[in-house]
Amino acid sequence: MNTEKFPVYFVSHGGGPWPHVEGMRQQFARTARAFAELPLRFPAVPKAVLVISGHWEAHEFMVSTAEHPGMEYDYYGFPEHTYHIRYPAPGSPEIAAHVRSLLGQAGIASGEDPLRGFDHGTFVPLELMYPQANVPIVMLSLKSGYDPLEHIRAGQALAPLREEGVLIMGSGLTYHNMRGFGRDESTPVATAFEKYLQDAISQTDPGTRNRMLIDWESAPGARLAHPREDHLLPLMVVAGAAGGDIGRTLFVDHVMKVPMASYEFGASS
């Protein structure tokens, strides 16, 4: 078992199955390089990756329990071949059960889903990080209602996983307004909102950080950046799991006229 604590991450996963689409792959070249290099920042190969994706929500927190998860092609209008992508990483019923146990110990209700497959918020970063698909993946849903505090508390409950060889990764976007992508007027909105998030995660006091994230709607351009906060809530889980670790910007890609930032908490360097 790994004994060194793993860092935790929020990654902006980009648009649809972009690594498999000519043109988009070149647009996201910065993100592709960063995802491929990410495992170099870990103390070891993780025993499993717990992914909180903005593409899965349920009435309560749900945990994927399949030994061999399938795929969720939850995107539209892409080339036919992107609906046949396979990422054959295993699941881990054992880790899934442990996730549910940790949530339960914190008084957080959860359920299990033996059929949930990999959505693009999961398979896009993971296939670039681990192209051999040899690291087990467990997924945790968002909870409908989008209460930021509930998601922070879920992350706090799951923090012990970091000392057990499990990588916790939230996957969303720092800007997610489908009508705004590619528009000049979206650039200052996305930039101002990302600046607020950067200020929040870099607070030295975790209480202040969490209060800023809970109060995210007060940020400049908040609802223009996130008409629905499904792609923002994974950051709340990550912040909870970060505990007292200070966040930093790992990298920022600029695609479709908006910045897409990814954050890291707790890395040794």
Whether 2 is covered by a domain: the verdict is: no
List the CATH number of the domain containing 99. Answer: 3.40.830.10
Whether 3 is covered by a domain: the verdict is: no
Domain that holds residue 259: 8-265
Whether 45 is covered by a domain: the verdict is: yes
Cα separation, 202 vs 185, whole angstroms: 27
What predicted TM-score, i.e. pTM, was given to this entire model? 0.97
pLDDT per residue of the chain (269 residues) written in tens, 0 to 9? 445 899 999 999 999 999 999 999 999 999 999 999 999 999 999 999 999 999 999 999 999 999 999 999 999 999 999 999 999 999 999 999 999 999 999 999 999 999 999 999 999 999 999 999 999 999 999 999 999 999 999 999 999 999 999 999 999 999 999 999 999 999 999 999 999 999 999 999 999 999 999 999 999 999 999 999 999 999 999 999 999 999 999 999 999 999 999 999 998 76
Whether 41 is covered by a domain: the verdict is: yes
Cα separation, 234 vs 119, whole angstroms: 14
Whether 124 is covered by a domain: the verdict is: yes
Whether 169 is covered by a domain: the verdict is: yes
* Cβ-contact 154, 61 below 8 angstroms: yes
Overall number of domains in the chain: 1
Whether 1 is covered by a domain: the verdict is: no
Whole-number pLDDT of residue 1: 40
Whether 62 is covered by a domain: the verdict is: yes
Check the CA dihedral 22-28-33-39 and report its sign. negative
Whole-number pLDDT of residue 2: 40
